Structures are given as structure tokens and as C-alpha cells.
């Protein structure tokens, strides 16, 4: 295991502060500093930006981000037990770590990062990771406040984020992420790297915002994808009927066949659907 600073090993930090991982908080601590350093490097150049980290826990990734030269790290931690361990890191890197106790789902990331250039890097808690990602990629203002996302998910979720048509993992999340972002899965992380080991493999996903996504109303696209993938085995003329009695005509007007199914439609096709349904007042 790499030694990246003169702070104690993470296992000693966890033991000293009694930081047994809580399942209720979706915690699985990543202790391998080789891996946390690899994640930090994957986030790109950090010396000119603020890094937003969610769920730092005992601070393994936090330390790697700071050692990699992050100008500043803003870490949001819900578990108050972790605050003393994070305070030790803040003391080691004066003025470069700000720890905020709170729920990341309830906090405004733009206000917390002060309008700086922001990269988000995190071993996201499993129980809130998907919702946080959706929040970040569906922000009304685009391009968004962040310049990159380097995030760890369960492998199944990571595959859904980068999925493309005709794959089993393709769904609403893949459409929304693919519409506005570029990127993919960087590497897998074995369950053995965590304490406690989860039952699944994890992956690190890196996304950057597409500055010029296809023109589309976000609300309309969300409505269309929710309806289409909510009944993914049905033909579009059936799954979208709840949105409009003229669904079949609108599907044809968008350039698609009414007997197609959601998993067959690419991102441009969903954008066309959303635009036509919105123009018709159906969404």
C-alpha cells in the first residue's frame, strides 16, 4: 500500500475513532491508498479547482485528492463520527480542506463551492449515489457548475450510466447521462478493497459535460423516458399512450415506428420524441 502522507494508515484511523461502517449510511470504506490515488489521478488536474467530495468517511480519497495537489477539497459528511478523523486531515493540509456535516441531497453544491471551477470526485454512498448523479446531470443550467465527475458506483449502476441501445442495462439513466455527458467506465474495484467488503464489484465512472447537447427540454425528456422505460417491454404506442391519445401519430411524427420498444431507441430518437410531444402539449 502506498504511503502518500505522514498521517496514520486508514485501518489505524478507523480503529482509533471507532468507525465501523454503517449499512444504513451505505458505507464501505476504501482503504487501499493505491486505489484512492488512482481515482484522484483519474479526476484530472486538481491544482486549479475545488474538488467536491461526498461521503469521505475516514478520508482515504480525501487524502489522495489533497496529495494529488487539489487546491481545495470541500467534503460533505453525514456521519458525525467521521469528523474528528477528517479534522486531522484538515490540520495536515492547512486551508485546503473544508468539511461540512450534512446530507448532500439537501445541500446546494454551487453555494458550497463558491462558484469556483469544480470537479466532483467521490466514493459515493451506495444508497444515495444514483440520485446524486441524477441531480448533477439534470441541473437546469447547462453547462453545469462542475467540469467533471469521477465517481464510484456498484458495477450494475455504472453499466446503466454508460449503457447504449439494445443492451440489457440501457434505460432512463443511460439516456439522460448520454444526452448531456461524455465518458465511460475507467476501471473495476474488487470487493476485497473495501471494509467491509460489499457483495458486488464496484466501478469508477468518469463523465464530462457535453457543452452542446441536442436541444431538448429536460422536463419533456424525463417524462418521455419515464413512460417509455416504465413499461419497457411494451411498444411505444402502448407505453406512451398515457401521455397522449395521439401517441401513435406523435411517435410517427418524430421519425420512429410506433411498434418500436424503448430499449431500441437511441438518444437522438428520445430527444425527437420529447420535442414532438412537448410541441403537441403532451408533456
Query: 239-263: per-residue pLDDT in tens?
Result: 999 999 999 999 999 999 999 999 9
Give, in degrees to the nearest 5, the angle at Cα 111 between 107 and 117.
120
Domains in the chain with CATH codes: 10-209 (3.40.50.150), 218-279 (1.10.8.100)
In this prediction, residues 206-232 reach a mean pLDDT of 97
C-alpha radius of gyration, the chain, whole number: 21
State the Cα–Cα distance between residues 83 and 100, nearest whole angstrom.
Answer: 9
pLDDT at position 160: 97
Rounded-to-10 torsion of CA 158, 108, 72, 54: -40
Question: Quick one: which of 92, 14, 15 has its CA closest to 56?
Answer: 14
State the Cα–Cα distance between residues 104 and 102, nearest whole angstrom.
Answer: 6
* Local structure of residue 134 (DSSP, 8 states): H
The annotated binding site is made up of 28, 30, 55, 77, 103, 123
In this prediction, residues 146-157 reach a mean pLDDT of 97
Query: Does the bond joining 26 to the residue before it have cis omega, within 30 degrees of 0?
Result: no
Query: 91-134: per-residue pLDDT in tens?
Result: 999 999 999 999 999 999 999 998 778 999 999 988 899 999 99
pTM over the 0.85 mark: yes
pLDDT at position 1: 46
pLDDT at position 244: 96
What are the phi and psi torsion angles at 241 (to 5°)? -65, -30
User: Would you say 204 and 42 are in contact if contact means Cβ atoms under 8 Å apart?
Assistant: yes
Distance between start and end Cα atoms, the chain: 53
In this prediction, residues 174-188 reach a mean pLDDT of 97
Cell 461540512, residue located: 100
pLDDT at position 114: 83
Question: Quick one: which of 157, 189, 182 has its CA closest to 172?
Answer: 157
Helices (H), strands (E): how many in the chain?
12, 9
Give, in degrees to the nearest 5, the angle at Cα 26 between 20 and 231.
160
Going by pLDDT thresholds of 50, 70 and 90, the confidence category of residue 21 is confident
pLDDT at position 2: 56
Residue 160's contacts (CB-CB under 8 Å, 6 or more residues apart) are 169, 170, 171, 173, 174
Amino acid at each position: 500500500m502506498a504511503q502518500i502522507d505522514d498521517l496514520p494508515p486508514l485501518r489505524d484511523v478507523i480503529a482509533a475513532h471507532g468507525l465501523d461502517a454503517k449499512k444504513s449510511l451505505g458505507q464501505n470504506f476504501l482503504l487501499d491508498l493505491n486505489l484512492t490515488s488512482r481515482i484522484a489521478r483519474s479526476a484530472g488536474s486538481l491544482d486549479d479547482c475545488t474538488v467536491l467530495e461526498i461521503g469521505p468517511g475516514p478520508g482515504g480519497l480525501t487524502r489522495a485528492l489533497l496529495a494529488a495537489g487539489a487546491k481545495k477539497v470541500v467534503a460533505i459528511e453525514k456521519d458525525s463520527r467521521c469528523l474528528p478523523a477528517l479534522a486531522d486531515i484538515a490540520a495536515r493540509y492547512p486551508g485546503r480542506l473544508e468539511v461540512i456535516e450534512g446530507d448532500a441531497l439537501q445541500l446546494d453544491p454551487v453555494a458550497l463551492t463558491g462558484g469556483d471551477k469544480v470537479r466532483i470526485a467521490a466514493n459515493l454512498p451506495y444508497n444515495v449515489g444514483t440520485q446524486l448523479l441524477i441531480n448533477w446531470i439534470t441541473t437546469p443550467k447547462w453547462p453545469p457548475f462542475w467540469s467533471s465527475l469521477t465517481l464510484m458506483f456498484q458495477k450494475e449502476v455504472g453499466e446503466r450510466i454508460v449503457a447504449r441501445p439494445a443492451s440489457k442495462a440501457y434505460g432512463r439513466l443511460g439516456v439522460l447521462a448520454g444526452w448531456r455527458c461524455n465518458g465511460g467506465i475507467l476501471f473495476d474495484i474488487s470487493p476485497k478493497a473495501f471494509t467491509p467488503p460489499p457483495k458486488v464489484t464496484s466501478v469508477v465512472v468518469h463523465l464530462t459535460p457535453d457543452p452542446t447537447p441536442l436541444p431538448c427540454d429536460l422536463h419533456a425528456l424525463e417524462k418521455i423516458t419515464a413512460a417509455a422505460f416504465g413499461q419497457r417491454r411494451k411498444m411505444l404506442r402502448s407505453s406512451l399512450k398515457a401521455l397522449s391519445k395521439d401517441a401513435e401519430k406523435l411517435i410517427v411524427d418524430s421519425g420512429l415506428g410506433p411498434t418500436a420498444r424503448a430499449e431500441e431507441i437511441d438518444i437522438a430518437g428520445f430527444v425527437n420524441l420529447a420535442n414532438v410531444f412537448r410541441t403537441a402539449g403532451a408533456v
